[in-house]
């Protein structure tokens, strides 16, 4: 935590942590805990923690210190309410989390809210989790929808999510060939293992793919058994959101086509065991790693092979298969990307450090361990880092995203300070670059290679203290070498002269990024973005993503089979021209907009429901929306869309230019789902 003595300290704090400022003056002006503190407490607890400053006003990034006349009273009110379970479900604070600071001779109260553990979530208000649980998203406190709260409750109660017995499923839903190959791999790994003497049913029971509940007497196939060895038809019935996807991209840049793809298409079982076997072979094919000898023998199983094997197993056993997203594995010439639905069950720093384990699907993990795949005791991620370090490559990038909840692991095959990138930066910035110390150069190189950089990413790479890195980032911005965007822990930095996505990039075509940036294909939003085009995410989305006009790939944009624009700068397709759409898809959109199309007057709630349905899983330009709902563009924006953006019901494609004529809108996570699935 920062020592707070000046307004500059507050500015650094705001760029390093989730930060909320509240005046806390009370009705009499002598100080009082504001009611809106509690949604913030719930929201930060259920996310990554944060800091609340009581007695401080913040407006557009500028801080004004009001101070508290009676901080002891405010502190007492805080702990009295925290210890009332009818008001707050869990007290996460100790005396050390709440302390006084003096700035400009005025006393403020600093409340350091830690992230709740899995067993403590959800942290909710007023004795009822549904409707009273918040989560911190985009510097705001947002209500969690019922689905999110139920998922938190399931994570809290179920140490192993894959032990659930699936009623109505039987051995007929198991693929016998998968079980046979698994048995053979166990024989190769442990020839004398007692499980090998059992028939298939008892073998599956021993693996806990089939179990009996001792309390209820219920028995049957477990979720782990179905996912690991099931056939595709049974998996679809038992786990409706299940989807696994491997994509091999041909170039070291973010683009939407692939040269190889593996998805469950009915030609193979689609189960996790078969997915692992097929994908691992593809990942290590033509892998360029240093030749190594041990005791005079060539070592084909290098630390890089071990790292990739662990990354793949880790992705599969930690995935939340009740989530909407697919498991996604992407291979670029210079990058391996892994994504699983669901966040980490432990703090990210603890996961990287290793030594502790909290696997979401423990039975699946044990199944892989039994045949020599995966690592025990929380050593998997450290082994991945070690494997990459053995080649002097950039440290892996592990991160979580909230909308939708997911975990990303990016493995870059690039040196920490590639000579050609250093030379490009030296030519670009001249003496300013040469005058930087090692940490400063490393920050700029990372921004060039990964397009954007954050404080958390730099902590992984540099190993410096967060306070020192915050000062260095501020200096690089002040000296014109970096630009920043966002607030708090969402702040990202990018090279001066580069831009974040704009309407011109998406609609004009050619990318505006420099060649050094185009050689990446590694920033996490592209790994996430590719997933939004998968058929399992929406009934509207096509399986075949080959561009309708291959020649358009040279401009950086293309269209999917429905006629929606695809751009590497956006994480979802965009409907910009109704005439470009296929007849069936256009008819579908028009049917969703049928009510406003045929009614001159429509209630606010009804219109918002239609707009959310149209914007589900895709961006819609203002002109297209206006045409579909038969309204004036300016009126639609002023009366509905602006309000919906403010209330975080929809998000903007181009947040830096909110009133641009090509602005496009997409329903926020969790919005617009009921209407399109009725």
pLDDT tens digits, 253-272? 545 567 899 999 999 999 99
Three-state SS string across 21-59, please? Answer: EECCCCCCCCCCCCCCHHHHHHHHHCCCCEEEEECEEEE
The answer to whether 160 and 362 have CB atoms below 8 angstroms apart is yes
How far is the C-alpha of 675 from the C-alpha of 678, rounded, in Å?
Answer: 6
Token duo for residue 548: 């309708």
Q: In the chain, which segments carry CATH 3.30.565.60?
A: 244-412
Kindly state the average pLDDT of the residues 225-243: 96
> Using CA of residue 189, residue 195, residue 197, residue 203, what is the dihedral sign?
negative
Give me the helix-helix angle, 272-284 and 362-370, nearest 10°.
60
Q: Does domain 419-500 match CATH 1.25.60.10?
A: no
Q: 455-469, 501-515, 535-549, 662-676: which range is least confident on average? A: 535-549
The answer to whether 494 and 501 have CB atoms below 8 angstroms apart is no
How far is the C-alpha of 572 from the C-alpha of 665, rounded, in Å?
Answer: 11
Confidence of residue 78 (pLDDT cuts 50, 70, 90): very high
Kindly state the average pLDDT of the residues 331-355: 89
- Identify the pLDDT of residue 117: 92
Confidence of residue 194 (pLDDT cuts 50, 70, 90): very high
Confidence of residue 539 (pLDDT cuts 50, 70, 90): very low
Token duo for residue 571: 């994480």
Q: Are strands 19-22 and 50-54 parallel, antiparallel or unpaired?
A: parallel
Confidence of residue 656 (pLDDT cuts 50, 70, 90): low
Give percent of the chain with pLDDT exceeding 70: 85
Confidence of residue 544 (pLDDT cuts 50, 70, 90): very low
What does the pLDDT look like over 483-520, one tens digit per residue?
988 777 668 888 988 776 566 555 653 332 233 332 33
**Buried residues in 223-239 as b, exposed as e (16+ CB within 10 A):** bbbbbbbbbbebbbebb
Fold designation for 573-677: Arc Repressor Mutant, subunit A (1.10.10)
* pLDDT of 81 over the 70 cut: yes
Give me the helix-helix angle, 176-189 and 362-370, nearest 10°.
60
- Identify the pLDDT of residue 523: 34
Kindly state the average pLDDT of the residues 57-77: 87
Confidence of residue 294 (pLDDT cuts 50, 70, 90): low
Token duo for residue 45: 């607890």
- Identify the pLDDT of residue 530: 36
Helix (H, G, I), strand (E, B) or coil at 135: strand
Helix (H, G, I), strand (E, B) or coil at 514: coil
Give percent of the chain with pLDDT exceeding 90: 50
Kindly state the average pLDDT of the residues 411-428: 88
Look up tokens 């090279």; give the residue: 495
| Residue from 501, 593, 629 nearest 556 by CA | 501
Beta carbons within 8 Å of 280's beta carbon, 6+ residues apart = 308, 309, 312
Give the predicted TM-score (pTM) of the model.
Answer: 0.68
CATH superfamily of this structure's domain 7-156:
Schlafen, AAA domain (3.30.950.30)
- Identify the pLDDT of residue 624: 94
Q: 15-19, 442-446, 459-463, 587-591: which range is least confident on average? A: 15-19
Q: What class, spelled out in words, does domain 244-412 have in CATH?
A: alpha beta
Q: In the chain, which segments carry CATH 1.10.10.10?
A: 419-500
- Tell me the C-alpha to C-alpha distance, in Å, between residue 146 and each of 115, 133, 545: 20, 9, 33
Question: Which residues are registered as beta bridge partners of 50?
Answer: 113
How far is the C-alpha of 336 from the C-alpha of 331, rounded, in Å?
Answer: 5
Kindly state the average pLDDT of the residues 603-613: 91
Find the angle CA(548)-CA(243)-CA(309) to the nearest 5 degrees: 105
């Amino acid at each position: 935590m920062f020592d707070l003595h000046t307004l500059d300290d507050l500015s650094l704090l705001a760029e390093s942590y989730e930060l909320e400022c509240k005046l806390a003056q009370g009705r009499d002006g002598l100080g009082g805990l504001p009611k809106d503190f509690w949604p913030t407490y719930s929201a930060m607890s259920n996310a990554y923690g944060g800091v609340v400053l009581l007695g401080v006003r913040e407006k557009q990034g500028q801080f004004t210190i009001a101070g508290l006349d009676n901080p002891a009273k405010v502190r007492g009110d805080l702990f009295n309410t925290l210890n009332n379970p009818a008001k707050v479900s869990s007290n996460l604070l100790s005396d050390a989390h709440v302390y006084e600071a003096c700035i400009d001779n005025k006393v403020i109260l600093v409340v350091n809210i830690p992230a709740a553990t899995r067993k403590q979530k959800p942290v909710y208000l007023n004795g009822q989790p549904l409707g009273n649980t918040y989560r911190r998203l985009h510097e705001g406190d947002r209500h969690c929808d019922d689905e999110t709260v139920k998922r938190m409750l399931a994570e809290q109660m179920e140490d192993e999510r894959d032990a659930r017995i699936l009623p109505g499923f039987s051995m007929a839903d198991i693929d016998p060939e998968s079980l046979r190959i698994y048995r053979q791999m166990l024989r190769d790994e442990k020839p004398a293992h007692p499980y090998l003497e059992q028939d298939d049913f008892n073998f599956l029971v021993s693996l806990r793919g089939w179990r009996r509940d001792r309390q209820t007497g219920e028995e049957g196939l477990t979720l782990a058994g179905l996912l690991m060895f099931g056939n595709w038809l049974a998996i679809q019935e038992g786990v409706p959101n299940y989807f696994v996807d491997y994509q091999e991209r041909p170039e070291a840049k973010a683009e939407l086509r692939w040269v190889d793809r593996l998805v469950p298409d009915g030609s193979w079982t689609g189960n996790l065991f078969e997915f692992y076997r097929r994908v691992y072979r593809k990942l290590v094919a033509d892998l360029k790693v240093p030749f190594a000898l041990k005791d005079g023998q060539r070592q084909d199983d290098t630390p890089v092979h071990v790292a990739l094997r662990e990354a793949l197993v880790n992705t599969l056993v930690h995935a939340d298969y009740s989530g909407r997203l697919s498991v996604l594995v992407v291979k670029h010439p210079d990058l391996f990307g892994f994504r699983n639905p669901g966040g980490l069950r432990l703090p990210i720093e603890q996961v990287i450090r290793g030594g502790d384990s909290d696997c979401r699907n423990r039975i699946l993990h044990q199944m892989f361990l039994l045949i020599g795949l995966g690592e025990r005791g929380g050593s998997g991620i450290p082994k991945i880092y070690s494997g990459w370090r053995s080649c002097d490559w950039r440290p892996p990038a592990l991160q979580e995203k909230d909308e939708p909840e997911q975990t990303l692991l990016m493995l870059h095959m690039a040196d920490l300070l590639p000579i050609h990138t250093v030379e490009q930066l030296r030519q670009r910035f001249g003496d300013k670059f040469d005058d930087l110390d090692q940490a400063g150069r490393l920050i700029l190189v990372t921004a060039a290679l990964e397009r954007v950089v954050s404080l958390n990413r730099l902590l992984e790479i540099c190993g410096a203290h967060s306070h020192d890195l915050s000062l260095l980032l501020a200096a690089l911005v002040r000296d014109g070498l970096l630009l920043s965007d966002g607030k708090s822990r969402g702040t990202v930095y990018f090279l001066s002269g580069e831009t974040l996505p704009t309407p011109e990039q998406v609609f004009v075509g050619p990318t505006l990024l420099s060649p050094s940036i185009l050689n990446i294909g590694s920033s996490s939003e592209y790994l996430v973005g590719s997933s939004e085009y998968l058929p399992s995410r929406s009934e509207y989305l096509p399986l075949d993503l080959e561009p309708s006009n291959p020649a358009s790939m040279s401009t950086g944009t293309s269209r999917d089979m429905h006629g929606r624009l695809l751009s590497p700068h956006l994480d979802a397709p965009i409907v910009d021209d109704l005439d470009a759409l296929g007849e069936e898809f256009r008819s579908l959109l028009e049917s969703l907009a049928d009510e406003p199309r045929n009614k001159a007057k429509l209630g606010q709630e009804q219109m918002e429901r239609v707009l959310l349905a149209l914007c589900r899983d895709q961006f819609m330009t203002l002109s297209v929306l206006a045409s579909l709902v038969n309204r004036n563009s300016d009126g639609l924006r002023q009366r509905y869309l602006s309000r919906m953006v403010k209330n975080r019901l929809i998000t903007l494609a181009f947040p830096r230019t909110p009133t641009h004529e090509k602005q496009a809108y997409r329903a926020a996570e969790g919005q617009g789902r009921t209407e399109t699935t009725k």
